[in-house]
Structure 1
Amino acid sequence: MSDSNVTTSLRLLHIRVLSPYLLTLPKSDPRRSSPPPSITGSPAIDLELYTYFALLIRDFINPWYRLVTNDQDLCTEIVSLLTLVVQRIQKRMCDDIDWTELLLISVPKLLTLHYQDYRQAKSRLHMDHASGSASLGELFHGMQPHFALQPVPNQEAEYLRLLTASILKVLLDPKDYESDAVRHLMREILSNVVLANLIESLADPYTIHMIICKLCENYADKLDNLESTGQMAETYFSAVTNETESSSQQTSSPAPDDSVTSIQAALIDAQNQQLMDNTPPIDERTTTKKEGEGLSTRLRRLKERQNELPEEEALEDVTNEERTHKRRPFSFGYITLQLLLAPIRSLWLSLTVLFTNSQERYQKIHQHKKRTRHMRLVEPSMQFMRIAFLLEDRPILQWAWQMIAMFVWPLVRVFGGGVLVDKFLELSILHVLSEDHIAYYLRCGRDLLWPDGVFLRKADPSTPLQREYMRVRAERLLTASLPLSLVKVLFDTTDLNEIQSHIHATIEPLQNKYINKHLLYLLVDLVASKIIPELVQSDFYP
């Protein structure tokens, strides 16, 4: 579906749910086609936000509110309050948050802690000093306790209500916050509908695998080629996929029709007649000898004769051309000079292109004015990579890593390389947080909460077979996406099946839903404290 069709369909959803009175106006009325009031100043982001508002009201307000009245004032008031909350969050996110520090320092440190605690809990699970924990989740919770995950009924919902109420206290106007109806309604929409379902969905390993498959979808053809050529061992899922594709190909090829057969017979007769007109008369003895041959043999000989005719005509054309044009003298020295200069010319062009591109990139990075006050932005991410890929289990690689950190990297920083790397990473973060990317993230979140336009709780849960297929698919796509040179350095092997086992060990700390919730709640607390620093002030709570 094209972007214009998607925009039109979402616009119709907005009108039908948020402004149904517009449907009563004539089609020529400009109010039907005029855009709604701007929220963020970006049409793409506003389109996604209004879609969220329409889906929230359609699924959680209209089912009970339409039973009471058909008045549209409540929905209009909810949209205006949500718009106010979004605008004030946007202002704080643009003016107060250091996104470079958040995404390159705080989040990698949190992921490193999650990986270390998971593997430490897994190693202690069956030991005597495991504190009597019966499961990996309980042992991990003992290492990272969180208030929202205490073994108390409805503890998660209560924690999200308290957090949302504190956020609304800062973002809403005092008169709106003092209204119990407005405060409770906004609190339930944001906590119970948005935050709770996002955490529940993102903590599910099936969703994580779907996101990986979505991000690596460009490597799907490469993966299919590796499986078909035997470089990766086939699984039950690849066998089922191949069988399904072959059956679909067989069903897609229809049986020959009688009309098509008659047309083919007429074309063969016409070709035979044309060949008979162009061929010399045949001796009677040859004819008598060929009478016993089958129809297929005759057709094959006629086809060969037909292929020979264009070659003979082309040969005659070339001969005539050679007769009319005088041949050019053969220069052995000229050809030798071209052969010698061709590699040098190719190398020169390659160096020119590389130097020009690197210079343009260097100038762009060098002229960028650094916004964050933090330095060494690459080190937390590299530390997480070291923990995630289990480099400590490979002594040679661990030694090389330490040598680079102790000798090579300090020299790079002394000669100005550290500043360039920090600027490059900051520009990458600004690119990731651009308008198009934010609209894409909102679209992905909408697809998670409302897959195929149906709310997540109403959809059918995934089966164990579907979950296993998505896990294997995600691991294999990650395997296919990594360059072989990097894989050789990290895992000391080029066997794709062994690499997949290493990838499985790398993403294993994200395979437990209960443990993933610890990570997500810590991320929610971190982002909330950055957006609204009043939450961590001692005088904020009475």
Structure 2
Amino acid sequence: MDQETGRAMPRSHARTKSNTSVGSNNTSRPRHNRSKSSKKLDSIYSDEATVAFIKRTLCAQQLAGTEGNRARNISKPLSESLPPLTSSNQVDLQLYALISIIIKDFVQAWYSRITPDQDFTDQVVHIIAHCTRALEQRIRAVGLEALLLDELPELVNVHVTAYRTAYSTSHTSLLVADPREIYHAINPHPALSPVPFEPESLASLDQAENEAVWRQLLIQGVLSHLLPPEDLSNPPLKVLVTEIFSELIIGRGVCGNICEGWFIWDIVTKLLALLRPPESDVPQQPPASPNRLEKFGLLADDSDDGDETPIVTRRTPMDTLSGVFWQAMQYAFLAFTTIRMLLTALSDAASLPPRANSKEELTHVDLDDGGSIRQQSTHDSTTRPILGMSLWSCCSHLLSLDLQMPWLTTMGAYIQWLLICRSWKVGYTNSRLDRLLSYHIRTKMLDPTRLPGILLLARTNMFPNNSLGPGRVPPTPEEALELRTKCADAILAALPPIIVKQVFAHRGEEEVQRQVEDMLDAFGDAYLNKHLVVGIVDLVVVKLFPELTEQSISAVLKRNDSGEEVRV
């Protein structure tokens, strides 16, 4: 990737460098260096080290005093020393680690020079805790299934479509057009205007200023619904919390390295490794013991012998018929087992509760003349079924199935229509199949126990060694291509082999690798990725704070006691 412009390199040149860099890097890294670095990371990011780091940063006043009080405060649980952020202690641990990094490098770096008093820091922590608890209540009222499986994939779909249109138009047009300008015309956003062609140009400075104004307006509108009136009337605290959220969390974190292509590829690789079960949990088969027939020499030796001529056996028609018969029996048994498991799962799904997106959705049961249920709930007509969400079309679009195998895309759309829109409505909202899919998504994909690991992954990538510091050094173009290759390998390893075989049929391993890397090229330009990230932030904020869609942020900011409008 070009470090100055953030654009993806030509694909032919990229693949040549990728193949050479991977081999050289693998041969130059000894194993003991990796083990030492992993032990160092474990010592820094372990739970005990994280708790000690949080107490040193946020509980310094409690640790001061006599030896007895200090010993008691050190051994005191973190939940008794600091206010709770959420309903999970593990999530609170990772969130407090992020807050400690921000407070240490952004607040205490200048506030400790003025006074050693910790009251100001405690007030900031209490305000953040109030905001996180209010956010958790709003998150519980949001339909996460629709957000993650329908609305966010739709944004990715729009991004990929605009990217491919921009680059295909720039190559086929007789006039020279920049792909960034074409993409911004297709998918505009006021915070990303004008298009920055050069890093230090006037357009780049104007775009950075517009982005900063957007962040300030967004955070001030959010805080006006989260903070109590007494905190809103405290300008220093409000300004400080606004700067922390807008500049550090959104500006430096969300709209910073996260928009880089190499960062996205690295995060996808690590997330797939996090979701995959560890190798230690997979039971290892013991070495096969020698068969009793082999022990007594009653089986022929299959080992290759170069001195002997291999014996060619001729298959009789009876052998061929026997092989076909046993293969047909295997397929029949597999089909019977699959159908039995599906019917059992569908019968068990009858006891699952119906889906609901929010607490405002009420259930109404009406009976017709025959006494049967006419309408089960008011949200059946608005909640999209799992099979009808945008996730499936997004995956098809990412893999370019609509261009390479249009017959497969058409067949999938027809089967989807049959399952949802036909008279029997097997996959309609709150059908047995829909409730079964929703149950497995909520219990496996949306498992809240995965959130601490994701937050730890974000902390290790955004704040190495628990400090803002210079951050991660951007990789060279060769290293960025290596990250893209690793991401493609992780995606292929995460897919079931039967899906890889059917989707990439009649293709070699190199061609499959190239196709997945071409798919990842859609996330190679940092400026284009920022459109996607900014769109995701806007969508999440609107879902959490639907009040912002009913009135402008400037009207929301008039909630202060003086009645004066707060300007950015």
Per the TM superposition, whether the score is higher than 0.5 is yes
1:423-456, Cα deviation, whole Å (9 max, x unpaired): 2343344333333122222222212211232326
Residue 159 of structure 2 is aligned to residue 120 of structure 1: no
Report the CA distance shift for 1:485/1:32 in structure 2 as closer, same or farther (over 3 A): closer
Residue 24 of structure 2 is aligned to residue 15 of structure 1: no
Residue 200 of structure 2 is aligned to residue 187 of structure 1: no
Residue identity matched to 1:404: I
Matches within 5 A, 1:493-532: 493-532=506-545
Shift of 1:177: 1.5
Structure 1 gap ranges (5+):
221-314, 316-343
State the match for 2:151 in structure 1. Answer: 106
Matches within 5 A, 1:45-124: 45-95=91-141, 97-124=142-169
Report the CA distance shift for 1:537/1:183 in structure 2 as closer, same or farther (over 3 A): same
Residue 398 of structure 2 is aligned to residue 384 of structure 1: no
State the match for 1:400 in structure 2. Answer: 411
State the match for 2:33 in structure 1. Answer: none
Question: For residues 492 and 348 of structure 1, what CA distance do their matches in structure 2 show?
Answer: 25
Residue identity matched to 1:8: E
Shift of 1:356: 7.0
State the match for 2:432 in structure 1. Answer: 420
Match of 1:454 among 453, 460, 467: 467
1:188-233, Cα deviation, whole Å (9 max, x unpaired): 000100111222122111111112221344899xxxxxxxxxxxxx
Report the CA distance shift for 1:509/1:421 in structure 2 as closer, same or farther (over 3 A): farther
Match of 2:502 among 478, 482, 489: 489
1:299-351, Cα deviation, whole Å (9 max, x unpaired): xxxxxxxxxxxxxxxx9xxxxxxxxxxxxxxxxxxxxxxxxxxxx9xx99997
Shift of 1:30: 5.6
Question: For residues 527 and 423 of structure 2, what CA distance do their matches in structure 1 show?
Answer: 42
Q: Which moved more, 1:83-92 or 1:455-464?
A: 455-464
SS at 1:414 equivalent? coil
Question: For residues 237 and 546 of structure 2, what CA distance do their matches in structure 1 show?
Answer: 24
Question: For residues 454 and 415 of structure 1, what CA distance do their matches in structure 2 show?
Answer: 53
Report the CA distance shift for 1:202/1:460 in structure 2 as closer, same or farther (over 3 A): closer
Matches within 5 A, 1:38-437: 38-95=84-141, 97-128=142-173, 133=177, 135-151=178-194, 152=206, 153-197=208-252, 198-217=254-273, 359=344, 363=348, 366-372=351-357, 373=379, 374-379=383-388, 380-393=390-403, 394-407=405-418, 410=421, 414-415=425-426, 419-431=431-443, 432-437=445-450
SS at 1:84 equivalent? helix
Question: For residues 3 and 428 of structure 1, what CA distance do their matches in structure 2 show?
Answer: 35
Residue identity matched to 1:33: K
Q: Which moved more, 1:184-193 or 1:468-477?
A: 468-477
Indicate if the aligned counterparts of 2:44 and 2:50 stay in contact, CA closer than 8 A: no
Shift of 1:392: 2.1
Indicate if the aligned counterparts of 2:385 and 2:427 stay in contact, CA closer than 8 A: no
Report the CA distance shift for 1:507/1:412 in structure 2 as closer, same or farther (over 3 A): farther
Structure holding more helix per residue? 1
Question: For residues 408 and 426 of structure 2, what CA distance do their matches in structure 1 show?
Answer: 26
SS at 1:61 equivalent? helix
Shift of 1:115: 1.4
Residue identity matched to 1:20: A
Residue identity matched to 1:541: S
Question: For residues 146 and 356 of structure 1, what CA distance do their matches in structure 2 show?
Answer: 48
Structure 2 gap ranges (5+):
1-38, 195-205, 277-295, 297-328, 358-378, 556-568
Residue identity matched to 2:386: L
Shift of 1:3: 10
State the match for 1:230 in structure 2. Answer: none
Report the CA distance shift for 1:357/1:378 in structure 2 as closer, same or farther (over 3 A): closer
Report the CA distance shift for 1:424/1:514 in structure 2 as closer, same or farther (over 3 A): farther
Residue identity matched to 2:109: P
Indicate if the aligned counterparts of 2:98 and 2:459 stay in contact, CA closer than 8 A: yes
Report the CA distance shift for 1:527/1:123 in structure 2 as closer, same or farther (over 3 A): same
Question: For residues 161 and 499 of structure 1, what CA distance do their matches in structure 2 show?
Answer: 44
Residue identity matched to 1:191: S
For the aligned residue pairs, the C-alpha RMSD in angstroms reads 3.4
State the match for 2:299 in structure 1. Answer: none
Indicate if the aligned counterparts of 1:449 and 1:456 stay in contact, CA closer than 8 A: no
Indicate if the aligned counterparts of 2:217 and 2:553 stay in contact, CA closer than 8 A: no
Question: For residues 149 and 218 of structure 1, what CA distance do their matches in structure 2 show?
Answer: 33
Shift of 1:499: 0.7
Shift of 1:121: 1.3
Question: For residues 540 and 104 of structure 2, what CA distance do their matches in structure 1 show?
Answer: 29
If you compute each CA radius of gyration, which structure gives the higher value, 1 or 2? 1
Q: For this pair of structures, how many residues does the alignment match?
A: 419
SS at 2:543 equivalent? helix
Indicate if the aligned counterparts of 1:487 and 1:494 stay in contact, CA closer than 8 A: no
Indicate if the aligned counterparts of 1:375 and 1:422 stay in contact, CA closer than 8 A: no
1:479-498, Cα deviation, whole Å (9 max, x unpaired): 33333422232232241111
Percentage identity across paired residues of the two chains: 23
